[in-house]
Amino acid sequence: MDDGQGPSSLAYAPSYAGRWSKLKPGLEKELEEHLTDILGFEEMTPVQSNVIPLFLSHKDVIVEAVTGSGKTLAYVLPVLQMIMKRQDRLKKNQLGALVVCPTRELAVQVHGIIQSFLLTSDEKGEEQQGDSEPSNTIAAKVSGALLAVGGSTSNPGDDYKKFKEQGSDIVVGTPGRVLELLERTSIDCKELEVLILDEADRLLDMGFTQTLTSILRLLPKQRRTGLFSATMTDAMNELVRVGLRNPVRVVVKVETKTTARDSKMMNGSTSVNDKRTPASLDNHFMSMRAEHKLLQLIRILRAESKRKEDDLPMRKAIVFFATCAQVNFFYKVLSPLTQMEGLKLYSLHGKQTPVRRRATFDAFVSATPLGSASSVESSSVLLCTDVAARGLDLPNVDLVVQFDPPTDPKVFSHRCGRTARAGRRGRAIVLLNKGREEEYVDFLKVRKNPVKRYDYLCDGNGEASREEPQEVDSGALQLHNDIRKLIRNDRALYDFSMQAFVSFIQCFRKHEVSFVFRERDLDYGAIAFTFGLLRLPRMPEIDRWRKSKEAESTEGEKTLLFVEENVDLQALAFADKAREKQRQEGLEAKMTAQIANGKDSKPKKTIEEAWSEQKARKDRKQDRRDKKQRKRAFLAKQASEQGQEPVNGQAEETHEDDDDMNDWAEEERLAKKQKKDQSNKEDAADTFQFDDL
């Protein structure tokens, strides 16, 4: 939920906007009682105090507020109140409100918040009145909410059946599934009161523009519309022109006062700066050599899990990576390491099945916090991509680490916003390679995301130093060797390592802050060392990097820390016996097929096909020579019998030489054609290739 963890969070809230009774127009009595008695929210946040009255006064709104500021309740409460205050109840085929979210996880979360109002109030009514129909509850006035998301166990037909049978007044879902539902001719959208686009800029970034336009065409123009996000983009202007009428823009900022000592101003004045992150968030950066990056991640997690803020222990952490392949790889190799003892890992990314994603999400949310008597693990760590960066409320997250800075700079504040929510304190750290990447700190400052330095950690106990050691950290060498040992014993990990490395390079090339994150500045050897690769994959980028390093080595450069191993892929087996058995059976079947076709068991090279063609041409030439030889013998014999001079043999030889020259010209033409075709194939294959068998 986007609005805190209960009454205890209020003690750490930097600012609140008063009690709910101050709202004008005010909330229905049932809603206010539910907020205070059930949820424990005695006061509203600034975004709620500004947005709710506008919505209830029939205004369209565009809301931009920092993450964790309470945006979800800012639209859920008006949606419920608008339906509750209708004079005539909606019919079963009529839709009253629509909430569109970019991801299924966020849609599930919003649907759960709405259901908490309906189910809790319904239970309360039953307790008071027994079996009689509850008359003074939210559930008595709102006919439920339907969840319509892709990738779930239900299909569009099931969504339609539920809507038709239950008559849900509110639909919450993802764009594609919502459009499929609304296109049913029997669904009446004419009575729709309000449309909400949550994380509106993300909806556009994910390519839902056309789908959203189709949804808007199916909805009545006389409605209330709200766009909510922590960041807004220029692309929003087009959607605003299509779907909103004279909207009111609400921007809730966090202001920090900077004294002369902090800002180094000489006049002793005080300046006020805007921030895009919560005031209760400590935002940091750490810079180190690429070889130490993974080691520092582990030491940060261990040190922060032992830290205590305001007598509250650290509970959970989230680590963001750039790609799904990286999440898979690091989850596999970090989990069994002794360096991770006391840390329970979870993995979440967009290429997992919906069932797996949901199970991981629920397991991480319900994980036992540190300090509990029943706790087995000291801290829970979620390794994920940006699929978990927006909108989701993951309770008790005290630390966010960005292993890879986001390719889209707008995502930075969303990632940080997974902690320090609704007044809770939190810490966020972004890891940067030394050198040009440190300029990212100035870039973040310009974008109103200031960060402070986080000192290099010398060990896992939290001992810090302002200066990174000149020599490679012994802990990094040990970590590198441990990962390599795991990879040598499992072919699956070898494949995961290659995929993770290549996906990172490809993603890095697409970085929007390319003037800071430049491909030519990457040290591929250092990155490969961090990933624990046994050897580098075949990539054009690697070839260019090798040539540059060879040129540098002639000028006295130090030997690379990363040393490639000679890997026999045919002997490298899967640790999973079933997969290894399947691989061996495949190799045997391939060898048997080659023998049956009269071929060598070794893979044929392209040159062998060219050789066979050449041999055929030589055979054809020999046949022509034999024919000509027989013809000359016949003509010589015939001339001898008739007493004539023999045919000029030199002339015959000349014709034969002409035939030979024609054959060689044909071979040259074919050779040039083959070379051209090979060149075209190499140009088309300007991507990595696994050395797989």
Range of the domain at 463: 281-368+377-473
Task: In whole angstroms, give the CA distance from residue 410 to residue 202.
Answer: 10
Judged on CB neighbours under 10 Å (0-12, 13-18, 19+), 327 is buried
285 shares a domain with 243: no
Structure tokens at 489: 């014993």
Question: Are 349 and 413 in contact, with CB atoms under 8 Å apart?
Answer: no
In angstroms, the Cα distances linking 544 to 515, 548, 550 are: 20, 6, 10
Residue 270: is its pLDDT beyond 60? no
336 shares a domain with 223: no
Question: What are the percentages of helix, strand and coil residues in the chain, rounded to 5?
Answer: 50, 15, 40
204 shares a domain with 103: yes
353 shares a domain with 225: no
Task: In whole angstroms, give the CA distance from residue 611 to residue 599.
Answer: 15
Give the pLDDT band (50/70/90) at residue 209: confident
442: in domain: yes
Per residue in 318-345, pLDDT (tens digit) is: 999 999 999 999 999 999 999 998 899 9
Residues ≥6 apart with Cβ < 8 Å to 146: 159, 162, 163, 166, 168, 170, 171, 172, 173
**Confidence (pLDDT) at 462:** 73
179 shares a domain with 113: yes
433: in domain: yes
**Confidence (pLDDT) at 651:** 43
One-letter-per-residue 3-state SS of 506-526: HHHCCCCCCCCCCHHHCCHHH
Task: In whole angstroms, give the CA distance from residue 135 to residue 549.
Answer: 78
Per residue in 652-676, pLDDT (tens digit) is: 444 444 444 455 455 556 556 655 6
455 shares a domain with 338: yes
667: in domain: no
Question: Are 674 and 666 in contact, with CB atoms under 8 Å apart?
Answer: no
Residue 201: is its pLDDT beyond 60? yes
Task: Please state the rounded mean pLDDT for residues 348-367.
Answer: 89
Residue 181: is its pLDDT beyond 60? yes
First to last CA, the chain: 49
689: in domain: no
**Confidence (pLDDT) at 41:** 87
Give 123 or 565, the one with higher predicted confidence. 565
Of the three residues 440, 473, 506, the one that is the final residue of a domain is 473
Residue 267: is its pLDDT beyond 50? no
Q: Which residue reads 């002997």 in tokens? A: 571
C-alpha dihedral over 512, 515, 518, 520, to 10 degrees?
A: 140
344 shares a domain with 223: no
Task: Spell 348-383 as b/e; 16+ CB within 10 A means b.
Answer: bbeebeeeebbebbeebbebebbeeeebeebbbbbb
Give the pLDDT band (50/70/90) at residue 646: low
307 shares a domain with 207: no
81: in domain: yes
**Confidence (pLDDT) at 344:** 92
642: in domain: no
150: in domain: yes
Closest CA to 63 of 257, 334, 254, 249: 249
Task: In whole angstroms, give the CA distance from residue 129 to residue 117.
Answer: 18
In angstroms, the Cα distances linking 312 to 8, 298, 304, 365, 425 are: 11, 22, 12, 18, 10
Per residue in 233-245, pLDDT (tens digit) is: 666 666 666 667 7
Task: Please state the rounded mean pLDDT for residues 392-417.
Answer: 90
347 shares a domain with 430: yes
Of the three residues 450, 473, 496, the one that is the final residue of a domain is 473
Give the range among 250-259, 524-533, 618-627 with minimum mean pLDDT.
250-259
**Confidence (pLDDT) at 633:** 81
Residue 269: is its pLDDT beyond 70? no
Task: In whole angstroms, give the CA distance from residue 637 to residue 641.
Answer: 6
Structure tokens at 80: 């419920």
389 shares a domain with 301: yes
Structure tokens at 617: 């041409």
Structure tokens at 515: 């003037």
Task: Please state the rounded mean pLDDT for residues 540-555.
Answer: 79
Question: Are 444 and 513 in contact, with CB atoms under 8 Å apart?
Answer: no
Give the pLDDT band (50/70/90) at residue 629: confident
Give 372 or 671, the one with higher predicted confidence. 671
Residue 122: is its pLDDT beyond 60? no
Give 294 or 263, the one with higher predicted confidence. 294
Give the pLDDT band (50/70/90) at residue 231: confident
64 shares a domain with 172: yes
Question: Are 256 and 279 in contact, with CB atoms under 8 Å apart?
Answer: yes
Beta bridge mates, 318? 382, 400
Query: At 338, which CATH number?
Result: 3.40.50.300
Give the chain's mean pLDDT: 80
**Confidence (pLDDT) at 274:** 60
Beta bridge mates, 272? 257
In angstroms, the Cα distances linking 676 to 6, 479, 664, 672, 689 are: 70, 46, 18, 6, 21
Q: Which helix (H) or strand (E) holds 558?
A: none
Task: In whole angstroms, give the CA distance from residue 452 to residue 255.
Answer: 17
Per residue in 73-111, pLDDT (tens digit) is: 999 999 999 999 998 899 989 999 999 999 888 999 999
**Confidence (pLDDT) at 623:** 77
Give 68 or 525, the one with higher predicted confidence. 525
Residue 317: is its pLDDT beyond 90? yes
Give the range among 197-206, 648-657, 675-684 with minimum mean pLDDT.
648-657
Task: Please state the rounded mean pLDDT for residues 263-281.
Answer: 56
Per residue in 577-622, pLDDT (tens digit) is: 999 999 999 988 988 888 887 665 455 443 434 444 555 667 777 7
636: in domain: no
Give 300 or 554, the one with higher predicted confidence. 300
In angstroms, the Cα distances linking 660 to 348, 408, 623, 653 are: 67, 64, 12, 10
**Confidence (pLDDT) at 14:** 45
Structure tokens at 110: 């919003």
Helix, strand or coil for residue 203? Answer: helix
Closest CA to 285 of 516, 80, 110: 516
Residue 534: is its pLDDT beyond 80? yes
Task: Please state the rounded mean pLDDT for residues 349-363.
Answer: 89
319 shares a domain with 420: yes
Give the pLDDT band (50/70/90) at residue 685: very low
Structure tokens at 70: 């309470």
**Cβ–Cβ contacts within 10 Å for residue 635, how many?**
15
Q: Which helix (H) or strand (E) holds 465?
A: strand 464-465
Give the pLDDT band (50/70/90) at residue 273: low
Per cent of the chain over pLDDT 90 is 42
Helices in 489-562 by DSSP H: which ranges? 491-508, 524-531, 540-553
Query: Do strands 194-198 and 97-100 pair parallel, antiparallel, or not at all (unpaired)?
Result: parallel
**Confidence (pLDDT) at 313:** 60
Residue 4: is its pLDDT beyond 70? no
Per cent of the chain over pLDDT 70 is 75
Task: Please state the rounded mean pLDDT for residues 186-194.
Answer: 93
Number of domains the chain contains: 2
Structure tokens at 437: 């990447």
Residue 389: is its pLDDT beyond 80? yes
Q: What is the DSSP string of 80-136?
A: HHHHHT-SSPPPTTB--EEEE-SSHHHHHHHHHHHHHHHHHHHHHHHHHHTTSPP-S
Of the three residues 202, 233, 252, the one that is the final residue of a domain is 252
Give the pLDDT band (50/70/90) at residue 40: confident
Q: What is the DSSP string of 570-582?
A: TT---SSHHHHHH
* Max CA pair span of the chain: 136
